[in-house]
Structure 1
Amino acid sequence: MEQMKLSEIVKAVKGSYGYPDDALIDNISTDTRTITEGSVFLALRGARFDGHDFAAKAMELGAQAVITERAVEGARCIIVDSTAQALLDLAGYYRDKFDIPLVGVTGSVGKTTTKDMISLVVAQKYKTLKTQGNLNNEIGMPKTLFGIDKQTRAAVIEMGMSARGEISRMSMSCKPSVCVITNIGVSHIEKLGSQENILAAKLEILDGAKQGAPLVLNMDDKFLANAVVHGLRKVWYYSVKDKNCDVYAANIINRNAGVDFDICYGGEIAHARINCIGVHNVKNALAAFCVGLILEVPVESILEGIESFRPEGLRQNITVKNGVSFVVDCYNAAPDSMRSSISVLDQLETDGMRYCVLADMLELGERSAEFHKAVGKYVADSHADRLYCFGELARNYILGAVENGFDKSRCMHFSDKDELADYLRSKLRKGDSVLLKGSRGMALEKVFEAI
């Protein structure tokens, strides 16, 4: 973070402050463990904590001032109506200091992978800041913006949400100059009610976008293909099916734990490779290719950036252990991402059995059983040899699979992860492949760790 005057911060958050304001600030903290000399502490409130309780402690640790919603004894308070909004306002003020391209990325599934691919492409030309980990909410996103400095030449910012208005507020803060929406699924449908409402929430990414900012959309998603986009802006469409798009993929071939394909654009053809499996990842690469063209990254460099991508952590990470290939994809789960991961299991080169190990998908509302059964039907249409399930909702995977012709004797349900791990360990042989997929709250990666 570059230094700001304390007086600038008071102005940016529209705060009330009655102390000398000529100090230089180089750190905005929401956690007293990160307080340094030259910090301003921002007292956020949550369901189980209240940052105001630590305001005085922040001063003791060296903070120059604290941003609060009320006076706190022992602290020099910049008082605002909402500290949550103050964080967004301050990050937006700071972002405005830098005239750099900023790519905003959202979507129901694949936004983190797409963000990572885009950042690798953009970094071929610009020193690029990107969202780290899961810092894609109204706290993490502004914290990411404070990471911009004089050397930064571009930023790629991921925006997630669980309710209407969240992406709008983040967009108003980060002011994207390019916007990307990967797809419209059913994640958070429990709160939003319908995919039409989810589409409206994702389109909020345009609320703070620069005038004329291009919008990159997945034409293979029926909701995005028919989205009504307001404003005078170029909409870039990408697809693996529709040859009338701005950018589309052809000649898709799985090879050596990756995918080779041609990218067709503007009458030109470029050969590309990604070192991960799945048509969904080809789509993510196409989104990154579009952004690269928009930001005038040379095509050869775009292709190098795409090829350099590797899955990380719990996102479709393929690991070989004792001759068994494991696809560990336990970061989150929704019907679309389930189908994507099952397709990865299908495409793995294997001489043995394919085990599909699925845990509950959470936060899907009253249609949860229906969504789980639909995934089970997809398993039945796949190349999976066994379906093992963990969690109460996961029983519906088996119901859907059996309804679609999958042999019930090839299905098992487990209520205990240790029991599942023990049983799976007893069955696995060299050459087998295993998919472990479920919502983050189900912690299915513990099964992999136990094996």
Structure 2
Amino acid sequence: MERMTIDEIARAVGCPGSYPGAVDVISTDSRSLPEGCLFVALEGERFDGHDFIPAALRSGAAAAVAHERRDYGPGTVLYVKNTQRALMEIAKAYRAKFSIRCVGVTGSVGKTTTKEMIADVLSCAYRTLKTEGNLNNEIGLPKTLFRLDRTTEAAVVEMGMQGLGEIAALADVARPDVGVITNIGVSHLERLGSRENILKAKLELAEALPDGAPLLLCGDNDLLSRVRIPRLDVRFYGIENPACGLRAKDLREGAGETSFLLCGEFGELPVTIPCAGRHNVLNALAAFSAGLALDIPPEKCAAALREYMPSGMRQKVVHWRGITVVEDCYNASPDSMRAALETLAGHPCTGRRIAVLGGMLELGAISERAHREIGAFAAEKGIDLLLAYGGDACYYRQGASEGGIPAELFGDKEELLARLREEIRPGDAVWVKGSRGMRMEEILEGLYKGEVVNE
């Protein structure tokens, strides 16, 4: 972070007066308070940052931001109406210091993988900052922007949301000049009520773009394919929709990679990405389109995508004791579950294909039907065994059993783990996936520590 004066910060958050000093670190974590930092006291469900302001000032913080008036002892305290909103205002003022190309990414599923691919593409031509992990909300996005410095040439900023107005607020701070919307699914349907409302929320990103800016949309998505915004340069990418300006065809999946022919105004270009699945091809198309929007030659975009490496627990392939394990525990929705099962069905293996699925959360009234349909889809794709855990996963079992494949339900992870160890043998492919709240990585941790019965 480049240095900001306390006066600059005070003006950004609407505090009258004159304040001495400057900061080059802004912290919201009471456990990490470097001397001379600005401490923004956020209030959460299980903590209140205001309780830590006295200690922060005593340990050398240059100033603190608070919305509760207390006796914090000696030191500079900027009083605001809401500290969370103040954090966003400080980030907005800081972002305004930099003239960079900024890509904003949102969507129901795939936005984190797409963000990572876009960052890889842009990094071949620009010094690029990206959102780390999934720090994509009103706290995470400022933390990303505070990492901007004089050497930054481009940024890729992921934007998540739970309801209407949230993408608009994030985009107002990040000021993107290229927008990417990966798809409109059913994530957050419980809160927003319809896919049309989800589309409305995601299109808040488009409203924040300047006139003539590129807006990159998945043309294979039924709702996004209908979007028309005359003031923007709307570009579609896809596999199925022939109207897309950027298309992938002749997809060929191998062991842990997918090759395809990319078609656009530049002609045809062979591309290979080191991950499997049509959904990842769509993510790669979004990244390629972002590269073109920022004037990167097609060949350089393709070369950058070849070097992409999946991060975290997003379809990370692990070869363990002769078994292929796909760690996909980051999150789940009906769309991403279908993509995972379709990819598992096509995954080359000499043994069985086993799906270990945790429940999907935040689906509201459609939860029962969605889980049953995923179970039926697993059967349709010929998955050999489905082991289900948590939430409404009992409906996975119903749908799978009705479709004619063996499926078992577990209310305890240790029981599921024991059954999985009994079932797997070298040559099998095991895909572990569920909503973040299911913590399916605990099954993986237990699996790697234990023994395989049928080795």
Q: In the alignment, does 2:284 pair up with 1:288?
A: no
Q: Deviations over 1:191-225 (max 9, x none)?
A: 11111111111111134323332110001111111
Q: Distance in 2 between matches of 1:143 and 1:38?
A: 17
Q: 1:9-408 counterparts in 2 under 5 A?
A: 9-17=9-17, 21-73=19-71, 74=73, 75-229=75-229, 232-403=231-402, 405-407=403-405
- The count of residues paired between Structure 1 and Structure 2 equals 445
SS of aligned partner of 1:199: helix
Q: In the alignment, does 2:409 pair up with 1:413?
A: yes
SS of aligned partner of 1:32: coil
Q: Distance in 1 between matches of 2:144 and 2:207?
A: 19
Contact 1:172-1:209 at 8 Å conserved across structures: no
Q: Deviations over 1:400-436 (max 9, x none)?
A: 2233x324xx111111111111111112111111111
Q: Distance in 1 between matches of 2:15 and 2:105?
A: 31
Contact 2:246-2:263 at 8 Å conserved across structures: yes
Contact 1:417-1:447 at 8 Å conserved across structures: yes
Q: Distance in 1 between matches of 2:207 and 2:57?
A: 36
Q: Which amino acid in the other structure matches residue 378 of structure 2?
A: V
Q: Distance in 1 between matches of 2:7 and 2:440?
A: 49
SS of aligned partner of 2:26: strand
Q: Distance in 1 between matches of 2:432 and 2:441?
A: 7
Q: Deviations over 1:331-369 (max 9, x none)?
A: 111000101111121121101111111111111112210
SS of aligned partner of 2:369: helix
Which runs of no fewer than 5 residues in structure 2 stay unpaired?
A: 448-455
* Bigger mean CA offset, 349-358 vs 26-35: 26-35
Q: Which amino acid in the other structure matches residue 389 of structure 1?
A: A
TM-score scaled to structure 2, two decimals? 0.95
Find the counterpart in structure 2 of residue 430 from structure 1: 426
TM-score scaled to structure 1, two decimals? 0.96
Q: Rate the CA distance shift 1:88–1:308 in 2: closer, same or farther, 3 A.
A: same
Over aligned residue pairs, what C-alpha RMSD do you find?
A: 1.3
Q: Which amino acid in the other structure matches residue 362 of structure 2?
A: E
Q: Shift of residue 160 of structure 1?
A: 0.7
Q: Rate the CA distance shift 1:30–1:392 in 2: closer, same or farther, 3 A.
A: closer
Contact 1:16-1:79 at 8 Å conserved across structures: no
Q: Shift of residue 228 of structure 1?
A: 4.5
SS of aligned partner of 1:115: helix
Contact 1:246-1:266 at 8 Å conserved across structures: yes
Q: Rate the CA distance shift 1:171–1:343 in 2: closer, same or farther, 3 A.
A: same
Q: Shift of residue 256 of structure 1?
A: 3.0
Q: Distance in 2 between matches of 1:319 and 1:306?
A: 21
Q: In the alignment, does 2:441 pair up with 1:445?
A: yes
Percent identity (aligned)? 44
Q: Shift of residue 267 of structure 1?
A: 5.0
Q: Deviations over 1:343-398 (max 9, x none)?
A: 12112110111111111111111221011011112111113111111124111012
Q: Shift of residue 232 of structure 1?
A: 0.9
